[in-house]
Chains A and B, each alone.
Chain A
Amino acid sequence: MNVEIQGYPSKRALVAKICGDIDHHTAKYFRGEIDKAIRNANPLVLVLDFSEVTFMDSSGIGLVMGRYKIMSEMDGEVVVANPPAYIRKVLQLAGIHRLTRIITDISSYTVQKNSEEEKETSEEVAEDDKIKESDEIEAETYK
Chain B
Amino acid sequence: MKLKRKPINEIKVCFPSYSENERFARIAVSGFLTQLDPQIDELADVKTAVSEGVTNAIVHGYRDCLGEILLQIKIYDDRQVYIKIRDKGCGIADVEQAMQPLFTTAPEEERAGLGFAVMESFMDRVRVKSKPGEGTTLILEKKLKSRKL
Contact = CB atoms under 8 A, between A and B. Distances in A.
B112 A90 contact: no
Contact of B115 (A21, A58, A85, A86): A58
B19 A94 contact: no
B115 A25 contact: no
B110 A57 contact: no
Interface in A71-121: 85-86, 89-90, 93-94
Interface residues of B, number: 24
Chain A CB within 10 A, most for which of B44, B48, B55, B59: B48
Interface in A18-74: 21, 23-25, 27, 31, 55-59, 61-63, 65-66
B129 interface: no
B23 A93 contact: no
B111 A57 contact: no
Contacts, number: 70
A58 B20 contact: no
A89 B114 CA distance: 13
Interface string B54-79: 01001100000000000000000000
A61 B51 contact: no
Dominant SS at the A interface? helix
Interface residues of A, number: 22
B23 A21 contact: yes
B118 A58 contact: yes
B52 A25 contact: no
Nearest to B21: A25
B26 A94 contact: no
A58 B120 CA distance: 13
Contact of A94 (B41, B55, B58, B112): B112
A58 B59 CA distance: 13
Contacts of A93: 114, 117-118, 121
A129 to B, nearest CB: 28
A24 B44 contact: no
Contacts of A57: 48, 51-52, 55, 115, 118
Interface of B: 19-20, 22-23, 26, 40-41, 44, 47-48, 51-52, 55, 58-59, 109-112, 114-115, 117-118, 121
13 contacts: A23-B19, A23-B26, A24-B22, A24-B111, A27-B110, A55-B26, A57-B52, A57-B55, A57-B115, A57-B118, A58-B117, A62-B109, A93-B121
Give the 3 A-B CB pairs with smallest separation, nearest first.
A25-B19, A62-B110, A86-B44
